[in-house]
Chain A
Amino acid sequence: MTATSAWSWRSLRLAPPLLPLLPVLAWLPVLLVLPGLSHGGGWDLIGQFAWAAFNPSLDPLVLGSLLSGLGITVGIALLGWALSLALGLLGGVLSSRTVWRTLIGSALPAELIRRLLAVPRAMHELLWGLLLLQLLGLQPVVAVLAITIPYAALVARVVSDLLDALPTQGLEALRLAGAPAAPALLTALGPALQPGVISYGGYRLECALRSATLLGVFGLGGLGTDLRLTLQSLQFSELWSGLWILLLVMLALEALLRALRQRWAMPARFGLTRRSVGRGGREVALGLVLLLPLLVLVAAALGVSPLQLGQLQPLPPFTADWPAVAALPWLSLIGSTLGLTLLAAALAVGSAPLLLLLLAPWPWGRVLIQAVWALGRLWPPPLTALLLLFVLQPGVLTAALALAFHNLGILGRLLLEAEESAPMQAEEALVAAGAGPRLALLYGRFSALARSYLAYGAYRADVILRETVVVGLVGAAGLGSLLLESLSSFAIDQLIALVAVYVLLTLMGEDLSDRLRRRLLAA
């Protein structure tokens, strides 16, 4: 009965449930190298940091300053998000093949606009922030624009993809009946587009809050600035007061958006259940009407005005030394950037399902991993990197760990959401036949989740490539480090070359991850 057929390596084929766990093997070399990178000097500081989590500062002065910082961060996030959504919707419609085909019979303008929008998308919001800082000086509008520009391009891409994936039979029927192009498009595609756009728009608000905090870490104002200052001055109790406040706000926002998604029956981001057209159109419209005066108030309170865009800072004289730029160690810079991306992506993608598998069946396990993931999401990667520097030497690995922790938080939550919405029947059947809870989860639910999770992981890898710039301050971490350095030393020629290489690399990465995603989902 237990006879096992002759095995050969040729018959080795990994079944879907194992695929999401495969990247976790990246931990093996990391654990081997880690002791060599540790300098051990700062463990007492890490201990103080961990202890401070339970002893946050309740000093009214500290809390007042943190709350005012939080107000700026939330305001920046809200304005950047709203502007990017409006511009992104417009960009999405303009880069939709279906729209152009209906309007002029050719999709060529859509292709051109898509290519154009790829450039602002390829640059991380931090890079936009630092570049705009040079042009406009330190003012809140910089952070708002830094979020708006790349986010609008991202929203445009998602909206155009959603539009082009909609069935066009209804549209064709209206056109054949003599309806003009624009009203036909609006009638046939508008309602079907609504749930996807609102669901994704909500998700972008969560991202905008994280981005606004991150921009603050680099000095663009708000709570992020306070977090960095308290960390650098080792005021861990004050740091934790800020972190707990941020955590509360973020979890409240996530819960609100989740409740709205459920109320309006919108699709989960990578759930297995495709939901139908959303209801509650009136509520959505009312929300938008209420949002407008709120945005005006926030802009007035932050002192953000379009007039500030005209007040350009005088730039230092531009001197180019292209031979010196060409002599930079490009191959090693690109290599370490890609290595950093792949390592961080593998650690994040693999660790989320492993942790879920190990801890979820344990009664408190779910709460514990949700708490760790929430911290990972809100904790900006450069701060994790700074914290890791207490015990590790600067380098690619330290940067990868910081990025992996942040992305683990994002991937983990999505995995948990998808896991909760995945069908339970196969897992139940295994439990009823006596399988343990972990094996039942692995066989029963991971099987169904594996491909969509990995497809999201491929998208995340592409986001991580963009994010490598934010851990540049840990040093020796590829293009990002040099980019931050050339920004602070006004080496404009080097900066232009580095941004161009970054953009090129991100576009290639995006193309690669798109192909991988399509293959995974088609299999």
Chain B
Amino acid sequence: MLAVPCPLLNRPNFPVLSSSPDRLLLELCSIRVPGRSAPRLDDVSLQLRPGERVALVGPSGAGKSTLLAVANGLIRPEAGELFWNGAAPARSRRRRRLQQALIGTLWQDLRLIEELTVQQNLNAARLARWGWPRALLNLMLPVETAANTEVLARVDLSADLLEQPVTALSGGQRQRLALARLLRQDPLLLLADEPLAHLDPRLARDLLDLLLKQASGGRALLLSLHRPDLLAGFDRVVALRQGRVVLDAAPSGLTGQQLAALYRSEA
């Protein structure tokens, strides 16, 4: 039931830069990532369609972060296949970069560039599409302020912050800036690695609502989280345990027992 077979489609051998309702945005086929004692991911398959919002759950060490790192191309699996928007990762570096620009990640540790301003951080999300002159200009002058003001407004941050250093922001503001940077990248596939950890319940709900809202208009969201109380709003819940997919169901079909079994200690 759980190992979704990879359909053998006629796949394009070039990056596809727009989404289509009948094309999978992310397709992982029998992915295996080795680990020290046991594999970090073992025979994992997963598909995401445009508009889908999928929650990735499982105990610590189940392989959620590894799966997201495979999905965004940071980890190359030992075995299995990966397709972004219907195409395999391109061999040419330039094409591969264009593909990666369509995948945005919200990191648990945010990964903001502390030494730069809010505006420069937002623009850093555009580096894949920019040439060197604009990338260098961004380190000297305010660049694309209107677009940055707009994404800041979408995450309820004031445009007054644009020229502030990241170090001057509060914890909540930083979290929103990281989301604004993701929006500025304008990806088709949104990946989020435990973005709600360390947030108070209200802030967590607000941020989650913002993220869920983004997965529309041909985009999809894959978000890992620890809290079963926040599963409302997702279309599917995929559970990992010891590097394997053990459950793939709609949240409404999930029982408390199933969730409890998922987090039960291995011993």
Interface residues of A (CB under 8 A from B): 1-5, 7, 11-18, 425-426, 428-436, 439-440, 442-444, 447-448, 450-451
Q: Is B140 in the interface zone, CB < 8 Å from A?
A: yes
Verify if B220 is at the interface (C-beta below 8 Å from A).
no
Q: How many residues of B contact A (CB 8 A)?
A: 43
Name which of B19-27, B29-37, B117-125 contacts chain A: B117-125
B98 within 8 A of A: yes
Contact in complex: A447, B116 (CB < 8 Å): yes
Contact (A436, B144) CB under 8 Å given A428-B111, A430-B124, A443-B127: no
A433–B104 CB distance below 8 A: yes
Given A12-B141, A14-B140, CB of A433 within 8 Å of CB of B107: no
A433 touches B140 (CB 8 A): no
Q: By the criterion CB–CB under 8 Å, are A18 and B127 in contact?
A: no
- Closest B residue, CB atoms, query A435: B127
Q: Determine how close the nearest CB of chain A comes to the CB of B141; give it in whole angstroms.
A: 5
Chain B residues whose CB sits within 8 angstroms of the CB of A444 once the complex forms: 113
B98 engages A443 (CB within 8 Å): no
A4 touches B105 (CB 8 A): no
Query: Could you tell me the distance in whole angstroms from the C-beta of B102 to the nearest C-beta in chain A?
Result: 8
Q: Is there contact, CB below 8 Å, between A433 and B185? A: yes
* CB-based nearest A residue for B97: A434
In the bound complex, do residue A432 and residue B139 qualify as a contact, i.e. CB atoms below 8 Å apart?
no
Q: Who on chain A is nearest to B111 by CB?
A: A429
The answer, among A1, A4, A14, A426, for a CB contact under 8 Å with B113, is: A426
For residue B103, CB closer than 8 A to chain A, the reply is yes
Residues of B within 8 A of A439 (CB): 127, 132, 135
In-complex Cβ contact of B103 among A17, A432, A443 (8 A):
A432
The answer to whether A12 and B127 have CB atoms under 8 Å apart is no
Whether A443 touches B147, Cβ cut-off 8 Å, given contacts A15-B139, A426-B111, is: no
Residue of B115, B124, B128, B141 with most partner-chain A CB within 10 A: B115
Min CB distance, B66 to chain A, in Å? 14
Contact of A17 with B124 in the complex, beta carbons under 8 Å: no
In the assembled complex, 23 residue pairs joining A and B whose CB atoms fall closer than 8 Å, in A order, are A1-B147, A3-B145, A4-B143, A7-B141, A11-B141, A12-B140, A15-B139, A17-B139, A425-B109, A428-B111, A429-B111, A431-B100, A433-B127, A433-B187, A434-B100, A434-B101, A434-B128, A439-B132, A439-B135, A440-B127, A443-B124, A444-B113, A450-B115
CB B227 to nearest CB in A, in angstroms, measures 24
CA distance A15 to B135 in the complex (A): 12
Q: Does B251 contact A (CB under 8 A)?
A: no
Q: Hey, which chain A residues are within 8 Å of B93, CB to CB?
A: 436
Q: With an 8 A cutoff between CB atoms, is B112 at the interface? A: yes
Cα distance, A60 to B240, chains bound together (Å): 67
Q: Is B85 at the interface (CB under 8 A from chain A)?
A: no
Q: Which residues of A contact B120 (CB under 8 A)?
A: 15
- A15 and B128 in contact, given A2-B147, A425-B107 (Cβ under 8 angstroms): no
Closest approach, in angstroms, between the C-beta of B122 and any C-beta of chain A? 12
Chain B proximity of A49: nearest CB distance (Å):
36
Most chain-A CB neighbours within 10 Å: which of B100, B135, B139? Answer: B139
- Mask of B66-102 contacts with A, CB within 8 angstroms, 1/0: 0000001110000000000000000001000111111
Q: Is the CB of B142 within 8 A of A433?
A: no
Q: A4-B144, A447-B116 are in contact. Are A436 and B105 (CB under 8 A)?
A: no
CA distance A223 to B234 in the complex (A): 73
User: Is the CB of B9 closer than 8 A to any CB of chain A?
Assistant: no
Residues on the B chain within 8 Å of A430, using CB? 124, 127
Shortest B135–chain A CB gap in Å is 5
Q: Report the bound CA distance from A434 to B147 in whole Å.
A: 19
What residues of chain B have their CB less than 8 Å away from a CB belonging to chain A? 72-74, 93, 97-105, 107, 109, 111-117, 120, 124-125, 127-129, 132, 135-136, 138-147, 185, 187
- The answer on a CB contact under 8 Å between A448 and B115 is yes
Contacts A2-B144, A3-B144; A432 near B72 (Cβ below 8 A)? yes
Q: State the CA gap A282–B154 with chains docked (Å).
A: 60
New A-B pairs, 8, CB < 8 Å, besides A4-B144, A432-B100: A1-B146, A7-B141, A18-B136, A433-B125, A434-B97, A434-B102, A434-B129, A436-B97
Cβ–Cβ contact A5 & B72, under 8 A: no
In the assembled complex, the CB of B137 is this many whole angstroms from the nearest CB of chain A, namely: 9
Q: What chain A residues lie within 8 Å of B109 (beta carbons)?
A: 425
9 smallest A-B Cβ distances: which pairs?
A434-B128, A434-B101, A5-B145, A434-B100, A435-B127, A429-B111, A15-B139, A447-B115, A3-B146
Bound Cα distance from A425 to B143, whole angstroms: 24
Least CB distance, B31 to chain A, in whole angstroms: 17
Contact A432 B143 (CB under 8 A): no
**Nearest-CB residue, chain A, relative to B93:** A436
Q: Are A443 and B136 in contact (CB under 8 A)?
A: no
**Measured CA separation A64–B140 after assembly (Å):** 57
A360 to chain B, nearest CB (A): 15
Instruction: Identify which of A16, A17, A426, A429 contacts B105 (C-beta below 8 A).
Output: A429
CB neighbours (8 Å) of A11 from chain B are 141-142
Chain B nearest CB: distance from A246 CB in Å? Answer: 39
B267 to chain A, nearest CB (A): 33
Residues of A within 8 A of B129 (CB): 434
CA distance A398 to B136 in the complex (A): 32
Q: Given A433-B128, A447-B116, decide whether A14 and B107 contact each other with a Cβ distance below 8 A.
A: no
A428 to B108, CA, bound (A): 13
Q: Which residue of B lies closest to A361 (CB)?
A: B93
User: How long is the Cα–Cα vector from A440 to B127 in the complex, in angstroms?
Assistant: 8
Q: Given contacts A15-B120, A450-B115, is CB(A436)–CB(B146) below 8 Å?
A: no
Which residues of chain A have C-beta atoms less than 8 A from B142's C-beta?
5, 7, 11
B-side contacts of A16, CB under 8 Å: 115-116
Q: In this complex, what residue of B is CB-closest to A9?
A: B141
For residue B113, which residues in chain A have a CB less than 8 angstroms away from its CB? 426, 443-444, 447
**Which residue of the partner chain A has the closest CB to B101?**
A434
The chain A residue with its CB closest to the CB of B109 is A425
Which residues does chain B contribute within 8 Å of A435, judged by CB atoms? 97, 124, 127-128
Q: In the assembly, what is the distance between CA of A12 and CA of B185, in Å?
A: 25
Among A18, A434, A448, A450, which residue has the most Cβ atoms of chain B within 10 A?
A434
A426 to B181 CA separation, bound complex (whole angstroms): 13
A3 touches B147 (CB 8 A): yes
Q: Could you tell me if A18 and B139 are in contact, using CB atoms closer than 8 angstroms?
A: yes
CB closest residue in chain B, given A443: B124
Known: A17-B139, A18-B136, A444-B113. A432 touches B105 (CB 8 A): yes
Nearest chain B residue, comparing its CB with the CB of A424: B111
Contact (Cβ within 8 A) A425 B111 = yes
Alpha-carbon distance between A492 and B163 when the two chains are bound, in angstroms: 60
A374 to B142, CA, bound (A): 40
Find out whether the CB atom of B147 lies under 8 angstroms from the CB atom of A429.
no
